[in-house]
Amino acid sequence: MYNLIGAGLIVIGAGIGLGQIGGKAMEGIARQPEAAGKIQTAMIIVAALLEGLAFGALFLGK
Amino acid sequence: MKIFQQSFRSFVLAILVILPTTIFANIAEGDGGRVSTKQEVEGYILHHLKDSHDFNLFSYTDDSGERKHVGFPLPVILWSSEGLVTFMSSEFHHDDNGEVIVEKNGLKFTKIHSKIYELEKGATAVNFDADHHATNGTKLLDFSITKSVVGILLIGLLMLFWFSRLANQYKKKQIPTGFGRVLEPLVLYVRDEISRPNVGEKHYRKFTGYLLTVFFFIWILNMAGLTPLGFNVTGQLAVTACLAIFTLVIYTISGNKDYWMHILWMPGVPIFVKPILAVIELVGAFIIKPFSLLVRLFANISAGHIVLMSLIAIMFTLKDSLGVAGATGLSFVLSFFLLLIELLVAFLQAYIFTMLSALFIGMAVAEHDHGHDLERETADVEDVRGDFI
């Protein structure tokens, strides 16, 4: 029961984080479309790091 | 004309690869009434996520109520208390609950939840405790050629064949033919977009071989996991842990003086912060980096398989409320679109693993020629100011 609540909290946190990353990246691309490639790469790396953290927490709480 | 023929052939091949994924549903065929559908689906999903000792394509119950399995057995290789023992997995007769006991060299073996146990001397059956753990059996060193090992060997041989052929084609002319034309842009992509910018212009040649191997290994195995063969190789912790350890060893060995300096005695910070940073950096380099690599790949692939199998199971769990046609249609549409997303995830995970490996290696081999002395830093600041003015 408690680990399900924990999983929910992790997903909320990760969701907020991913939303921030994606949203800011889109703003950046809209501002400077010619830098889209670089922004995308950086975005994917940060998203991957965040995802690793979230999955690690989910995995430990299982 | 020849190009047309070749592209037609590739198209047919792609259809042949993609179509059977919809027949995947056969695996979840229920045998009515024995246990509840929900429990059975859960059982199937958990069973699928684990490695198995035989290569089971599908199973069904025939008219006389007998369970039939279609597939082929694989060799079981064990290091028991009295040395090496080998036999074929068919001797377990698809039992996974410790009911069938195999006797070899006077030792008794049984299989419980994909793990093989050696029974104690004189025992004739497995005793379970309250949590369904065997009390009179010991776990063994298991070197069996399991389903995952078959997958790894198969993909390894396939990659050896594809890439050695591609390499040989360059000896004759500049442009590869056949399947090499698919591989060439991918190889160039990994070299120019992942390896070169992240590892650095000076050192990237040395590490591109490893990055290419890891990229294609993970990607092809991820895609093999989406076919009805039911491989779940990159969803095994042992496999992803092994790949992460390769990366760990490579960036630890190739780390230069500056890298170790930055880990053990961080320049440019007050002296009492240095030991604290050293602890954090050591934990980061040896535990967090490989752990994040291995957990990310494992969790993504496992989660994908669980969701895919659950969506396929909709046709059995919602059969009563939506009707057979409705439940099948819903399940088909949902699982079809999830498969498309999973194709993207398969590529993305291979890309991220390779990218982060390249980044970690790049951190270890980067040369800090700019130094950390104060003079130089103020000069940098002036440079930046100059840009704005």
- Cβ <8 Å between B292 and A49: yes
Q: What is the DSSP string of B25-91?
A: GGGG---TTSS-HHHHHHHHHHHHHS--SEEEEEEEE-TTS-EEEEEEE-EEEEEETTEEEEEEGGG
Let me know whether B268 and B187 are in one domain.
Answer: yes
DSSP string, A7-50: HHHHHHHHHHHHHHHHHHHHHHHHH-GGGHHHHHHHHHHHHHHH
Structure-token match 């020629």, residue found: B369
Q: Nearest CB to B295: which of A41, A45, A55?
A: A55
B131 and B155 assigned to the same domain = no
**Domain membership flag for residue B260:** yes
B 216-245 near A (Cβ less than 8 A): none
CB-CB under 8 Å, A59 with B295 = yes
B370 vs B367: CA distance, rounded Å: 9
Verify that B135 and B253 share a domain, yes or no.
no
> Is B2 a member of any domain?
no
> Which SS3 state, helix, strand or coil, does residue B226 take?
coil
Q: Compute CA distances B331 → B30, B280, B293, B325, B364, whole Å.
A: 16, 48, 32, 10, 48
Closest CA to A18 of A40, A41, A59, A46: A46
Q: Under an 8 A CB cutoff, do B296 and A59 touch?
A: no
Give the span between the Cα atoms of B308 and B47, in whole angstroms: 14
Looking at residue B8, what is its pLDDT? 66
User: Is B212 inside any structural domain?
Assistant: yes
Q: In this prediction, does ipTM exceed 0.85?
A: no
pLDDT tens digit sequence for B51-93 = 888 887 777 777 777 777 888 888 888 888 778 888 888 888 8
Question: Does some domain include residue B361?
Answer: yes
pTM for this structure?
Answer: 0.80
Least confident range of A46-50, B100-104, B121-125, B145-149: B121-125
Residues B161, B137 share a domain? no
Q: Which residues of B touch A56 (CB under 8 A)?
A: 291-292, 295
From the list A49, A51, A56, which residue is nearest B291 (CB)?
Answer: A56
Predicted local confidence at residue B35, as pLDDT: 60
Does the distance separating the beta carbons of B299 and A44 come in below 8 Å? no
Determine the Cα–Cα distance for residues B12 and B18; give it in Å rounded to an integer: 10
| Closest Cβ–Cβ partner in B291, B296, B299 for A48 | B296
Residue type, B377: E
Query: β-strand B137-139 against B141-142: which pairing, if any?
Result: unpaired
User: Do B251 and B194 sit in the same domain of this protein?
Assistant: yes
Please tell me the predicted confidence (pLDDT) of residue B17.
56
In a domain, B219, yes or no: yes
pLDDT band at B140 (very low <50, low <70, confident <90, very high): confident
Using a CB-CB cut-off of 8 Å, the residues of chain A touching B296 are 48, 51-52, 55
- B286 in a domain, yes or no? yes
**CA of A12 to nearest chain B CA: how many angstroms apart?**
17
Asked if residue B158 and residue B136 are part of one domain, the reply reads no
Enumerate residues 280 to 309 of chain B having a beta carbon within 8 A of any beta carbon in chain A. 291-293, 295-296, 299-300
Please tell me whether residues B140 and B153 are part of one structural domain: no
pLDDT value, residue B52: 83
Residues B99 and B247 in one domain: no
User: Closest chain A residue to B293 measured between Cα atoms?
Assistant: A52
| pLDDT at residue B23 greater than cutoff 50 | no
Q: Which domain holds residue B97?
A: 75-144
Classify residue B5: in a domain, yes or no. no
Q: Do residues B276 and B352 both lie within one domain?
A: yes
A46 touches chain B (CB under 8 A): no
Name residue B313's amino acid: A
Average pLDDT taken over every residue of chain B = 82
Around Cβ A43, how many Cβ atoms within 10 Å?
Answer: 18
Residue A48 has pLDDT above 80, yes or no: yes
Residues B123 and B189 placed together within one structural domain of the fold: no
A34-45 residue pLDDT tens? 999 889 888 988
Q: Are residues B239 and B357 in the same domain?
A: yes
Measured between alpha carbons, how far is B290 from A52 in angstroms, rounded to an integer?
10
**What Rg value do the Cα atoms of chain A yield, rounded?**
14
- The minimal CB distance from B355 to the residues A45, A55, A59 is found for A45
- Which strands, in side-by-side order, build the sheet including B102-104? B102-104, B107-112, B115-119, B137-139
Residue closest to B56 by CA, chosen among B185, B273, B232, B216: B232
Residue B207 inside a domain? The answer is: yes
> What is the average per-residue pLDDT within B315-328?
86
Ramachandran angles phi, psi of B345, nearest 5°: -60, -40
Number of domains forming the structure of chain B: 2
Q: Are residues B106 and B184 in the same domain?
A: no
Contacts of A51 in chain B (CB under 8 A): 296, 300
B190 close contact with A: CB closer than 8 A = no
3-state secondary structure of A52: helix
The model's pLDDT over B93-135, given as tens digits with 9 standing for 90+, comes to: 877 777 788 887 778 888 887 788 888 777 777 777 777 777 7
Rounded to an integer, what distance in angstroms lies between the CA atom of residue B41 and that of residue B314?
A: 10
Residue type, B45: I
